[in-house]
A and B are shown apart, each in its own frame.
Chain A
Amino acid sequence: MAIQVLIPTPLQKYTADQASVELEASSVDGLLQALDSQFPGIKARLTDEQGKLRRFLNVYVNSEDIRFLDNQATALSDGDEVSIVPAVAGG
């Protein structure tokens, strides 16, 4: 299943400067694995030693924050867009 992943600028050095990549995965956790197989080292940037997403990173599936879904177990299906976004200040 092809999932479109939007890569934030700080991580594009892992993806040969690509701002978006396409991968096969059926969950967010699976996607993190798939990303790391294709772009070795990227998962260690995104997660801590326990494999949990770092607390200053937000992950969205089709614009929805995964904390409103099933967190890292959130299921993915063909054509989904996943966006990885570092936290930003507001106002």
Chain B
Amino acid sequence: MTATLSRATFTGLRCKECGHPYDAGARHVCEDVCFGPLEVVYDYDAIRARVTRATIEAGPASIWRYREFLPVQGDPIDVGTGFTPLVRANRLARRLGLKHLYIKNDGVNMPTLSFKDRVVSVALTRARELGFTTVSCASTGNLANSTAAIAAHAGLECCVFIPADLELGKVLGTLIYNPTLMAVKGNYDQVNRLCSEVANTYGWGFVNINLRPYYSEGSKTLGYEVIEQLGWQLPDHIVAPLASGSLFTKIRKGFDEFIKVGLVDDKPVRFSGAQAEGCSPIAQAFEAGRDFITPVKPDTIAKSIAIGNPADGPYALDIARRTGGTIASVTDEEIVAGIQLLAETEGVFTETAGGTTIAVLKKLAEQGKIDPEETTVAYITGNGLKTLEAISGVVGEPHTIEPQLSSFNAAWERAQSLHRATWEPMGV
């Protein structure tokens, strides 16, 4: 036990609002003072003494190459999560009038093809250390997939909660791991409330409730990886989707920590956020110049980011404003067009959250809010195969033909004329 404890670089929890300290148990709010969210406290001197670029580069090709920056004590659950491709997106860049654009593609994260595998790998490692045998979550879909899969790998009991109207891919993609799946007749915010009530009486580890301080730290690795993959440099501008706002704040924290321990040189990075118009409480507050969030009732195809009452919304607003970024929203039609644009220019098929990010990237580029010279990174957080419903009906149909050359010839002619009819000059 002593040997594993000595590897831990975190010392406890602390309220992000008032600074009140807590021990490193399963708790997520400042219960003694102000109900603010709790954050993990690290010993950065210990991290600095232990970590160099070389030690990180020698580590596993997963988030655990950054384990000194993560709140775990012993052996992590390593299912190959993280270290996903950072793709230079030249064709998309040219289409948008940008010069240095990258796609961080967590749509191919392991094991369940979304960035949630990062947070769940950390949360379940910590859950096991804290003695939980059953894990749970409230989810818009991706988190359910990930929690069920990694719980299966780790041999933990699992009960997850989702809104009943989710896409089939997300439902089947959870059931396959054989958890207990509760489909709640309500929206995500109602699911979340129910789970908080369940957490009050069942002794389970809820990854996004009582394990939230540990869980959310997993998202920092999306900041670390981009720095490392850019050759140990910060980008100039990032664009990421906003649901609860947690991912956005943790990318910032990841950048700040690498600066703090001397792994990367400091420079300004602009943070821009993307929301779907049908669920845009943070974008609305940004536009109105408010520093508080008024909750909304979600109505969008971008279900994975449909959180009407975003817990980290105020922090996301603050980061966007402080860094000179923007928070914008796009319509469902623009989201689908964003999915298509990324697929057609870069060969990356993302889900609706990624379509939202690309559509906002396009909007900001058109409005001159991204400097063409800036090194810009767009975070793609999920895989399009999970939300096929969003694009069926807009991507056309296959040409069904007989197994004969003449049938092919005729169909090819038709296809060419169809292609000519829809062709428009696009300078790619």
Q: Which residues of A contact B (CB under 8 A)?
A: 6-12, 19, 45-46, 54-58, 60, 63, 65, 67-68, 83, 85-91
Contact = CB atoms under 8 A, between A and B. Distances in A.
Interface stretch (B125-133, B186-194, B404-412): B186-194
Nearest to A56: B35
Interface in B187-213: 188-190, 192-193, 195-197, 199-201, 208-210, 212
Contacts of B314: 55
Contacts of B201: 19
Contact of B311 (A6, A54, A60, A87): A87
Given A55-B314, A56-B17, A65-B309, A89 B212 contact: yes
A85 B189 CA distance: 11
Contacts of B377: none
Contacts of A58: 193, 309
Contacts, number: 102
Contacts of A86: 28-29, 35, 196
A8 B200 contact: yes
Contacts of A11: 31
B381 to A, nearest CB: 9
Contacts of A85: 192-193, 196-197
Contacts of A10: 27, 29, 31, 35
B109 to A, nearest CB: 13
A10 B38 CA distance: 13
Nearest to A55: B292
B73 interface: no
A46 B31 CA distance: 10
B34 A65 contact: no
Contacts of B34: 54, 56
Interface of B: 17, 27-29, 31, 34-37, 116, 119, 138-140, 142-143, 186, 188-190, 192-193, 195-197, 199-201, 208-210, 212, 215-216, 243-244, 246, 292, 294-295, 297, 304, 307, 309-312, 314
A56 B27 CA distance: 15
Contacts of A90: 138, 140, 143, 188, 192, 208, 243-244, 246, 307, 310-311
A91 B295 contact: no
Contacts of B208: 88-91
A63 B35 contact: no
11 contacts: A6-B200, A9-B200, A11-B31, A46-B35, A56-B34, A65-B295, A86-B28, A86-B35, A88-B192, A90-B246, A91-B243
B175 to A, nearest CB: 19
A17 B133 CA distance: 23
B145 to A, nearest CB: 11
A83 B192 CA distance: 12
Given A8-B200, A54-B34, 6 more contacts: A6-B200, A10-B35, A56-B34, A86-B29, A88-B208, A89-B215
Contacts of B35: 10, 45-46, 54, 56-57, 86-87
A47 to B, nearest CB: 10
Contacts of B216: 89
B189 A91 contact: no
Nearest to B114: A91
**Of B31, B201, B243, B292, most A-chain CB atoms within 10 Å:** B31
Nearest to B296: A68
Most interface-central of B196, B208, B311, B312 (chain A CB within 10 A)? B196
Contact of B29 (A12, A55, A56, A91): A56
A50 to B, nearest CB: 14
Contact of A88 (B27, B119, B209): B209
Nearest to B34: A54
A9 B210 CA distance: 10
Contacts of B186: 63
Contacts of A55: 292, 314
A3 B55 CA distance: 58
B101 to A, nearest CB: 25
B312 A89 contact: yes
A12 B31 CA distance: 10
A12 B209 CA distance: 17
B140 A91 contact: yes
